[in-house]
Amino acid sequence: MAAQIFSAIFVIIIGVGGCVAYFWGANKALDTIFPARGVSGKAAINNLRRQGVIRPWLFVGPAMIILTIYLIYPVVETLRLSFLDRGGAHFVGLANYQWAFGDREFRNSILNNIIWLAVVPAACTFLGLIIAVLTDKIWWGTIAKSLIFLPLAISFVGASVIWKFIYEYRGDGQTQIGLLNAIIQYFGGQPQVWISLPFWNNFFLMVILIWIQTGFAMVILSSALRGIPEETLEAAVIDGANPFQIFWKIMVPQIWGTIAVVWTTITILVLKVFDIVLTMTNGQWNSQVLANLMFDWMFRGGGDFGRGATIAIIIMIAVIPIMVWNIRQANKETEGH
């Protein structure tokens, strides 16, 4: 143990130190090669100008290199691989895509992903909004929010264990140690193996993500609600609007932009959902989703990179509209400045 702690500290110092050394060293080198101090007049101005041209690239250089290797090149390469066979040696045209849409498991994944996309962002946003509105009205709202927010810090694997324990099944008549079956049994119902119930098991997995992400929606929406001018709400009250009208006709339209941001953020997360399905069912009992299917094909039978890449591309295609929308929004913001 001690040796491992020592080696851990050692590698941490090497990793972080190397990074610091680059930035410090590169700038030092630039100052030494083109000195701006200690030389006179024209030379100093020239060197300053040269520094001004080079230094931005010293600053953004590492980021650009890493982004290129880890994100830009892979996007291109994944697209290319999706047209190649399992080892990536032979061009197979659209065969991987043809396989995908003919494959029962793939179609099941697409269907499940659509259900996830329809349910999870809506549920998180709706619950988050309700909790945000309710907690704003009570004195212990901050504590309540903290507690509801807390699952956001828990890993998907940890959350899966937590919920697997809740869904735990013992035969009928035995003492149930899973909370859900215990409640069902208490009210005279029949205990179930929740995560292997065809179709409905999807919803039991979705509950986990909703449990995690509602806090996120709540925090963002809560801050947006605070941004609604007090006068608007007061005016509505004076005009005799009832609380439902105030909520639907005044509050919701005012924070529409924020709702869209929350919704899209959770949508992207849902498209990538992997850990929950892997740990709860690993795609059995018709609960497969795209991200887990892709992981499966990366390693199944030594790995089929062509099919894995194809599934990744399909996830990417689903994300592109959101990406375009994001860039547009960002451009609008910069123009506004």
Both structure tokens of 229: 């001018």
User: Does 331 participate in binding other proteins (rule CB under 8 A)?
Assistant: yes
* DSSP-derived 3-state class of residue 94: coil
- Judge whether 141 and 275 are in contact, CB under 8 Å: no
User: Does 298 participate in binding other proteins (rule CB under 8 A)?
Assistant: yes
CB atoms within 10 A of CB 210: 22
User: Does 35 participate in binding other proteins (rule CB under 8 A)?
Assistant: no
Which residue in the set 38, 42, 153, 173 belongs to the binding site for other proteins (CB under 8 A)? 153
Q: What CA–CA distance (Å, rounded) separates 176 from 168?
A: 8
Gyration radius of the chain over CA positions: 27
The four Cα atoms 277, 280, 284, 290 give a dihedral, to 10 degrees, of: 0
User: Does 114 participate in binding other proteins (rule CB under 8 A)?
Assistant: no
Using CB under 8 A, which residues numbered 259 to 278 contact other proteins? 261-262, 264-265, 268-269, 271-272, 274-275, 278
Q: Which stretch binds other proteins (CB under 8 A): 50-58, 92-100, 107-115, 116-124?
A: 50-58
Q: Provide the CA 217 distance to its chain's centre, in angstroms.
A: 13
Least distance from C-beta 245 to other proteins, angstroms? 10
Least distance from C-beta 200 to other proteins, angstroms? 19
Least distance from C-beta 40 to other proteins, angstroms? 15
Which residue in the set 108, 158, 184, 196 belongs to the binding site for other proteins (CB under 8 A)? 158
Q: What CA–CA distance (Å, rounded) separates 36 from 34?
A: 6
Closest CA to 61 of 159, 298, 69: 69
Q: What CA–CA distances, in Å, run from 62 to 25, 30, 33, 93, 135?
A: 13, 16, 20, 36, 44
Closest CA to 195 of 187, 185, 186, 207: 207
* DSSP-derived 3-state class of residue 169: coil
Count of residues that interact with other proteins, criterion CB under 8 A: 124
Least distance from C-beta 299 to other proteins, angstroms? 9
- Judge whether 78 and 313 are in contact, CB under 8 Å: yes
Q: Which stretch binds other proteins (CB under 8 A): 53-61, 95-103, 107-115, 189-197?
A: 53-61
Q: What CA–CA distance (Å, rounded) separates 324 from 332?
A: 12
Q: Which is nearer to other proteins, 199 or 299 (CB)?
A: 299
Q: Provide the CA 184 distance to its chain's centre, in angstroms.
A: 33
User: Does 161 participate in binding other proteins (rule CB under 8 A)?
Assistant: yes
Q: What CA–CA distance (Å, rounded) separates 296 from 292?
A: 6
Which residue in the set 95, 182, 197, 250 belongs to the binding site for other proteins (CB under 8 A)? 182
Which residue in the set 94, 114, 118, 177 belongs to the binding site for other proteins (CB under 8 A)? 177
Least distance from C-beta 194 to other proteins, angstroms? 14
Using CB under 8 A, which residues numbered 197 to 256 contact other proteins? 211, 214-216, 219-220, 223, 237, 242-244, 246-247
User: Does 50 participate in binding other proteins (rule CB under 8 A)?
Assistant: no
Using CB under 8 A, which residues numbered 60 to 99 contact other proteins? 60, 62-64, 66-67, 69-75, 77-78, 81, 88
Which residue in the set 38, 40, 41, 53 belongs to the binding site for other proteins (CB under 8 A)? 53
Least distance from C-beta 30 to other proteins, angstroms? 8
